[in-house]
Amino acid sequence: MPATAPSLNTAKGLLFRYKAVRQATDKLCAPLSPEDLMVQSCPEASPAKWHLAHTTWFFETFVLREFLAGYKPFHPDFHWLFNSYYNALGDMPEKKLRASFSRPPLSAILAYRTHVDKNIASLLQHQLEDEAARRIALGLSHEQQHQELIATDIKHALFTNPLHPAYVAPAAQQKTEAIAPPLDWIAFRPGLVEIGVTPNPADTTAFAFDNETPRHSVYIAPFRLASRLVTCAEYLAFIDQNGYTRPEPWLSEGWTTIHAEGWQAPLYWQRDTATQSGWSIYTLHGFIPLEDLSETPVCHLSFFEADAYARWAGHRLPTEFEWEHAATQSLSAKDCHPERSEAESKDLRLSAATATQGNFLESASLHPTPATSSEGLQQLFGDVWEWTASGYTGYPGYKPLPGALGEYNGKFMSSQVVLRGGSCVTPATHIRPTYRNFFTPATRWQFSGLRLAQDGPQDR
C-alpha cells in the first residue's frame, strides 16, 4: 500500500482499502475462462464464480442490509443462494452442489459485485457507525481469505483436468539455483509469555479475528525451532526410506487415512520416470521436475504427513504458542533474539504485522521459494502454512461475535488443527503473528508444510 494511503480509521481510508482488495480479487480471476470459474473439483473447494458472489454477499448481508438506509438488495434469491454456513440466516444450498450454479450467469455475478461496490462507496460518503466500520474491516479480511481459496481451489481444479493446464505460464524458467541453507536450531528460554491480542474496537488498522482473542498468558518450556522450513529434497528422503509404508512414525488415524486414500507422496507429486528424481510436481505454472524444486519448502501435506515426517526425523511439530512467541520475538528484534523479555515485546504483535516479509501472493511466484539466509528464523511468513501440534480451540475467556457473525470461527472449534504463518498465495496485508488458520488433519489442498521443533535443554 502506498505511504500516502489514507488511514483505515477514516471512511476515506476504508474505501481506499475496499477498492484495493476487491480489485485484487478481480485480478486473481483474470486468467480464468468462464468455464474455469465454474469448476469444483473436490468437496472442500468451491468454484471461483461462487467465491466472487459469496464475498459480495458478505458485504451486502452484514453491512449494506443493516447500515445503508433504503438499500435495495440486488436479487432476493442471492440472500440464501450464496450463504455459506450461517445457519442463523436460514437455509443454504449444499456446498458440494456449487458447481451446478450455471445460473445466474457470470455477467449477473459481475453486475452484483458492481452493485454492492457502488453502495459501499455510497455508505462511506456519510458518517459511519463504528460497528459498520468494523464489519467492513471484517469483510475485507474475509475476502482476502477467499482470494487464497480461489488460488488453492483453481490449482486443484486444473490439476484434475487430464491436460493439467497451467493457471499462468511461468514468467521465466522455474528451476531455482538457490540452495537452502543448512538447518539450524534457534533456542528459546522458558517462561510465561503473552499470546493473542486484545483489539481496540475503535482501531480498524489493527484488525484481528475473534479467535485471536483474548490476550492471555501461557507458560512455554524451553524449546528450539528450526531455522527454516522442511524442503522437498528432505521430504523425498522420507519417501525413499519407506516413510509411507512403515507404521512407526504415523498416528493411528494418519496410518488409516494414508491407506484409505492411497497416499504415497504429497498432493501434486506425480511419478515421472523421465526425471532424475522420478517425480514431478504440479504447480500453478504447470508440472515442474522435482529436482528443479528440491530446495523449495515441501507443501500440500496433511497434518498426518507433517507429524509423521517430524517423528521420523527425530523431532516434533511446534505448538502454536511456541510458534507465535518465536515469530513475535523474531519480528520485534528484526532477527531472532530469544533473550528479549516478554515485557519488552508483549505489545508488538499487531504492530509487527506491517513488518512481515515473505513470499506472498503479491510476489506472483505462486509457489514456495527457498530460504535465502542462514541468519535467525527464516520463512516465518509466506511460502507455506505451517502445521502445529495444537488443536483448534478457543482461548481462555474466548467469546464469539454476537449474532450470525459468531458462526465465522467459533463453530469450527472441534476436530481441527491450527496452522500458522501464511503461504505463497496469502495476501501480504492479511497475515500477522497472532493469525490462526485451521483445517481438519487430513487436509492437503492448501499450501501447507512444516517446520521442525524440539525440546530445549532445561538449564537454559
The two most distant CA atoms of the chain are separated, in Å, by 67
> Does 339 or 446 have the greater pLDDT score?
446
Distance (Å, rounded) from C-alpha 294 to C-alpha 176? 9
Residue 6 lies in a domain: no
Cis peptide before 104 (omega within 30 of 0): yes
Q: What average pLDDT does range 103-114 have in this prediction?
A: 97
Positive or negative torsion for Cα 237, 243, 249, 252: positive
Q: What average pLDDT does range 375-394 have in this prediction?
A: 96
Residue 4 has pLDDT above 60, yes or no: no
Distance (Å, rounded) from C-alpha 388 to C-alpha 186? 17
End-to-end CA gap in the chain = 42
Nearest to 298 by CA among 438, 451, 440: 451
Residue 350 has pLDDT above 50, yes or no: no
Question: Is the same domain home to 153 and 186?
Answer: no
Reported as a single tens digit per residue, the pLDDT across 183-242 is: 999 999 999 999 999 866 666 567 899 999 999 999 999 999 999 999 999 999 999 999
Question: Is the same domain home to 138 and 170?
Answer: no
Quote the pLDDT of residue 204: 59
Q: What average pLDDT does range 108-137 have in this prediction?
A: 95
Quote the pLDDT of residue 351: 39
User: Per-residue confidence at 174, pLDDT binned at 50, 70, 90?
Assistant: low
Quote the pLDDT of residue 276: 86
Q: Residue 136: give the domain boundaries.
A: 11-160
Residue 189 lies in a domain: yes
Domain end among 132, 160, 188: 160
Question: Is the same domain home to 170 and 137?
Answer: no
Q: What average pLDDT does range 90-95 have in this prediction?
A: 93
Question: Is the same domain home to 155 and 268?
Answer: no
User: Per-residue confidence at 353, pLDDT binned at 50, 70, 90?
Assistant: very low
> Does 30 or 338 have the greater pLDDT score?
30
Q: What is the CATH number of the domain that holds 87?
A: 1.20.120
State whether residue 307 is helix, strand or coil: helix
Nearest to 318 by CA among 405, 417, 393: 417
Reported as a single tens digit per residue, the pLDDT across 30-45 is: 999 999 999 999 989 9
Residue 117 has pLDDT above 80, yes or no: yes
Question: Is the same domain home to 233 and 310?
Answer: yes
Reported as a single tens digit per residue, the pLDDT across 57-87 is: 999 999 999 999 999 999 999 999 999 999 9
Q: What average pLDDT does range 264-290 have in this prediction?
A: 95
The predicted model scores a pTM of 0.92
In the numeric block, the cell 523449495 is attached to 296
Contacts of 105 (CB under 8 A, 6+ apart): none
Contacts of 165 (CB under 8 A, 6+ apart): 158, 286
Question: Is the same domain home to 374 and 388?
Answer: yes
Question: Is the same domain home to 361 and 413?
Answer: yes
Q: How many residues does the chain have?
A: 460
Question: Is the same domain home to 98 and 199?
Answer: no
Q: What is the CATH number of the domain that holds 195?
A: 3.90.1580.10
**36, three cell numbers:** 474455469
Reported as a single tens digit per residue, the pLDDT across 6-21 is: 666 788 899 999 999 9
Quote the pLDDT of residue 333: 64
Distance (Å, rounded) from C-alpha 307 to C-alpha 232? 16
Domain end among 131, 160, 189: 160
Question: Is the same domain home to 141 and 155?
Answer: yes
Residue 2 lies in a domain: no
Question: Is the same domain home to 47 and 104?
Answer: yes
Question: Is the same domain home to 135 and 102?
Answer: yes
Q: What average pLDDT does range 413-426 have in this prediction?
A: 97
Contacts of 338 (CB under 8 A, 6+ apart): 186, 187, 188, 189, 329
For 30, half-sphere exposure in the C-beta direction (CA atoms, 13 angstrom radius) is 8
